[in-house]
């Protein structure tokens, strides 16, 4: 059998270092599926339950490995299903290539079944590169350019291959003639090659240092761009006497037990971060596009410096005085010789005192009684038991609050969630991709019951299919089972002033532990505070993947670090209008507010 276009496509991806493709079959990609079967010793196809999960997994692969993630879907409906996961990758600046099928070339333009204008459909999410192949000679440069652009630009690209073209004879080397393109795959920015060094000009580094040296109360805010730059961040923070706050995507950039790390920022943030940002006179932002300006200093309060590898992301959240285009680690190292160590350490001492007090507050809140289980305590008890080098994934919702605040990340761990899109649903597919990339490492997914019902339950089927391939079978899915779309319920109260709308917010009850057992996984139902530690110990020492079905209290409030007058008014309005959970939320809010000011004295 001669090599087909589908064969060559798969082979070329393999030559770029791709060894795993997440997808779902369909007749629009039969030619590629056949090629994957013939190449299965080199490129493994991972069958998901829905194409959106394939895109989430490709995104997570890029997040956890730094490589290009690849997903595959059929034409029309399959391609459409990819979009949410691809937007997650695009908005978190991850390298993903989407390969999709299309109807036969002769049918295009004929309102054919499942015919969708895929170039237009993907033009936004894959704005840097989306093209449809029409002849075999295109395949080489379409793959090469899609892979290279996804890698270099840290973005989503898309290749569309009509079904009949997939079965045509391949053309590995286009004719040496006018109008042909002769691309190559070996370059300084291939899948497994390091990124080039990007460092600002010396004059710009000096200007930045002048601003930072002049500050008496310096705050740092770091994001995903500082992953891999921990030692540089620590050194600069020490020189400047600064505290360090972390945007959610940067949670794993620095260990949480460092005394000057104030934790998360924003509505999910901490009181020490809020106090530091409110009182600082100088701000250094590194590798972050944290979007909420209301949680940054007021204009005119602080002078600011920003470092980012992408010049398009500079000075859009705060009017920064000096903007440095460069890699976070390289730029910080280059900046160090120009910085002067702060002799007055009073600002740093205040930050460390506030951080120490805050951990006491979080512990006290976690130990508050609830009906039946306080979700904060589930996370608090997990934190010291996290295995070395584990990988954490979290979903969107109230679960992200406790992930951001109550878990102490240690060196060697990785962690992520959907940052800028903040979509529901990626928690479990992220964990599956992490497990395929690092089968020897424990992985823990932290999700709410809303996300679990949306797609997490289906992902358990995928886990049941593949878990025996992993050298360490430990993949734990924690489900906060409160029968409530909890984050939105609290937003209705605190932002809109409306009581809980039960028709939209109350979820049907479901036994996640029993469902896991039905799939051959282990299920643990957790409905008593006394069993939290034993449940974690059992899950962390299990010989197969585990679902921890934790029955938690929806009335425990995800209190913001600073409650504004508007939020207080809205909250009171929701209670006044007759929130169905009024007595419970008053009780739990009072308990947590007491612990804010008098920890462990409740």
| pLDDT above 90 (res 403) | yes
Write down the pLDDT at residue 285: 98
Write down the pLDDT at residue 304: 98
What six digits make up the tokens of 358? 């805050």
Which of these, 105, 121, 83, lies nearest to 31 by C-alpha position?
A: 105
Preceding omega of 216 cis (within 30 degrees of 0): no
What is the per-residue pLDDT across 353-373, written as a single tens digit (0 to 9) for each?
A: 999 999 999 999 999 999 999
Could you tell me if 62 and 112 are in contact, meaning their C-beta atoms sit under 8 angstroms apart? Answer: no
| pLDDT above 70 (res 601) | no
Phi/psi of residue 157, nearest 5 degrees:
-125, 165
Beta bridge partners of 97: 70, 157
| pLDDT above 80 (res 194) | no
User: CA–CA separation, 50 vs 231, rounded Å?
Assistant: 40
Could you tell me if 377 and 366 are in contact, meaning their C-beta atoms sit under 8 angstroms apart? Answer: yes
| pLDDT above 60 (res 191) | no
Write down the pLDDT at residue 186: 64
Enumerate residues 6+ apart whose C-beta is below 8 A from 16.
Answer: 68, 143, 144, 147, 185, 190, 191
Looking at residues 386-407, what average pLDDT do you find?
A: 97
Mean pLDDT, the chain, whole residue set:
95
| Confidence at 127, pLDDT banded by 50, 70, 90 | very high
User: CA–CA separation, 66 vs 97, rounded Å?
Assistant: 13
User: CA–CA separation, 218 vs 260, rounded Å?
Assistant: 12
In order of 93, 238, 344, the CA distances from 233 in angstroms are: 21, 8, 20
Looking at residues 267-288, what average pLDDT do you find?
A: 97
Name the DSSP class of 494.
I
Write down the pLDDT at residue 364: 95
| pLDDT above 80 (res 563) | no
Which of these, 33, 78, 21, lies nearest to 436 by C-alpha position?
A: 21
Write down the pLDDT at residue 600: 58
| pLDDT above 50 (res 265) | yes
Looking at residues 195-223, what average pLDDT do you find?
A: 95
Write down the pLDDT at residue 545: 98
Looking at residues 534-549, what average pLDDT do you find?
A: 98
| pLDDT above 80 (res 45) | yes
Enumerate residues 6+ apart whose C-beta is below 8 A from 255.
Answer: 230, 261, 408, 409, 410, 411
Write down the pLDDT at residue 434: 98
pTM score > 0.85 for this model?
yes
What six digits make up the tokens of 13? 């991806």
First to last CA, the chain: 76
Write down the pLDDT at residue 500: 92
Write down the pLDDT at residue 190: 46
Looking at residues 494-498, what average pLDDT do you find?
A: 90
Share of the chain above pLDDT 90, in %: 87
What is the per-residue pLDDT across 305-351, written as a single tens digit (0 to 9) for each?
A: 999 999 999 999 999 999 999 999 999 999 999 999 999 999 999 99
Looking at residues 82-106, what average pLDDT do you find?
A: 97
| Confidence at 598, pLDDT banded by 50, 70, 90 | low
- Domains parsed from the chain with CATH numbers: 5-166 (3.40.50.970), 202-353 (3.40.50.1220), 367-597 (3.40.50.970)
Biggest CA–CA distance in the chain, Å, is 82
Phi/psi of residue 166, nearest 5 degrees:
-60, -30
Write down the pLDDT at residue 589: 78
User: CA–CA separation, 87 vs 425, rounded Å?
Assistant: 13
Could you tell me if 273 and 267 are in contact, meaning their C-beta atoms sit under 8 angstroms apart? Answer: no
User: CA–CA separation, 570 vs 499, rounded Å?
Assistant: 10
Q: Detail the DSSP E strand segments found in 194-255.
A: 218-222, 243-246
User: CA–CA separation, 272 vs 519, rounded Å?
Assistant: 44
User: CA–CA separation, 75 vs 119, rounded Å?
Assistant: 12
Looking at residues 124-130, what average pLDDT do you find?
A: 98
What secondary structure does DSSP assign to 418-437, as a single string? --SS--SS-HHHHHHHHHHH
What six digits make up the tokens of 496? 């809109």
Looking at residues 239-261, what average pLDDT do you find?
A: 98
| pLDDT above 60 (res 602) | no
Classify 290 as helix, strand or coil.
coil
User: CA–CA separation, 544 vs 468, rounded Å?
Assistant: 8
Classify 522 as helix, strand or coil.
strand
């Amino acid at each position: 059998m001669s090599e087909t276009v589908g064969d060559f496509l798969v082979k070329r991806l393999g030559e770029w270092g791709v060894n795993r493709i997440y997808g779902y079959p369909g007749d629009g990609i039969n030619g590629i599926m056949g090629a994957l079967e013939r190449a299965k010793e080199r490129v493994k196809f991972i069958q998901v339950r829905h194409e959106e999960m394939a895109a989430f997994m490709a995104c997570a692969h890029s997040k956890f490995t730094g490589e290009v993630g690849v997903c595959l879907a059929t034409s029309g409906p399959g391609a459409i299903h990819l979009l949410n996961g691809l937007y997650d990758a695009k908005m978190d600046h991850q390298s993903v290539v989407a390969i999709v099928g299309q109807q036969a070339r002769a049918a295009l333009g004929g309102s054919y079944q499942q015919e969708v204008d895929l170039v237009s459909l993907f033009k936004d999410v894959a704005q840097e590169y989306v093209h449809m192949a029409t002849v075999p000679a295109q395949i080489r440069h379409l793959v090469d350019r899609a892979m290279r652009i996804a890698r270099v630009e840290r973005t989503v690209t898309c290749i569309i291959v009509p079904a009949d073209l997939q079965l045509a004879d391949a053309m590995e080397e286009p004719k040496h003639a006018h109008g042909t393109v002769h691309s190559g795959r070996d370059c300084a920015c291939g899948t497994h090659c390091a990124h080039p060094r990007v460092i600002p000009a010396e004059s710009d580094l000096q200007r930045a240092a002048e601003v930072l040296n002049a500050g008496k109360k310096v705050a740092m805010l770091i994001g995903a761009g500082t992953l891999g730059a921990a030692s540089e961040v620590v050194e600069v923070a020490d020189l400047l006497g600064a505290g360090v706050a972390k945007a959610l995507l940067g949670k794993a950039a620095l260990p949480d037990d460092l005394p000057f790390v104030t934790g998360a920022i924003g509505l999910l943030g901490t009181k020490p971060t809020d106090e530091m940002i409110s009182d600082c006179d100088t701000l250094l932002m590194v590798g972050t596009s944290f979007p909420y300006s209301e949680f940054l200093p007021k204009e005119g309060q602080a002078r600011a410096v920003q470092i980012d590898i992408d010049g398009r992301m500079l000075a859009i959240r705060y009017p920064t005085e000096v903007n440095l285009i460069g890699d976070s680690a390289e730029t910080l190292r280059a900046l160090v010789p120009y910085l002067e160590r702060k002799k007055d350490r009073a600002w740093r001492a205040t930050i460390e005192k506030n951080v120490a007090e805050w951990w006491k507050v979080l512990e006290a809140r976690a130990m508050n009684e609830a009906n039946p289980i306080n979700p904060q305590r589930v996370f608090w008890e997990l934190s010291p038991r996290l295995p070395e080098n584990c990988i954490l994934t979290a979903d969107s919702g109230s679960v992200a609050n406790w992930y951001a605040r109550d878990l102490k990340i240690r060196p060697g761990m990785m962690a992520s969630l959907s940052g800028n899109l903040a979509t529901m649903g990626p928690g479990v597919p992220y964990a599956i991709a992490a497990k395929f990339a690092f089968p020897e490492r424990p992985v823990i997914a932290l999700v709410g019951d809303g996300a679990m019902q949306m797609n997490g339950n289906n992902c358990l089927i995928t886990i049941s299919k593949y878990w025996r391939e992993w050298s360490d079978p430990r993949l734990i899915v924690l489900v906060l089972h409160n029968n409530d779309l909890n984050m939105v319920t609290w937003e209705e109260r605190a932002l809109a002033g409306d009581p809980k709308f039960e028709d939209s917010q109350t979820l049907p009850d479901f036994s996640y532990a029993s469902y896991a057992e039905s799939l051959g996984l282990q299920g643990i139902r957790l409905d008593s505070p006394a069993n939290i530690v034993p449940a974690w110990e059992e899950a962390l020492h299990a010989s197969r993947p585990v679902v921890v079905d934790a029955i938690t209290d929806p009335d425990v409030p995800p209190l913001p670090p600073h409650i504004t007058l508007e939020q207080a008014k809205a909250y009171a309005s929701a209670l006044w209008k007759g929130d169905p959970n009024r007595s419970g939320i008053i009780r739990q809010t009072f308990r947590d507010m007491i612990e804010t000011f008098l920890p462990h004295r409740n």
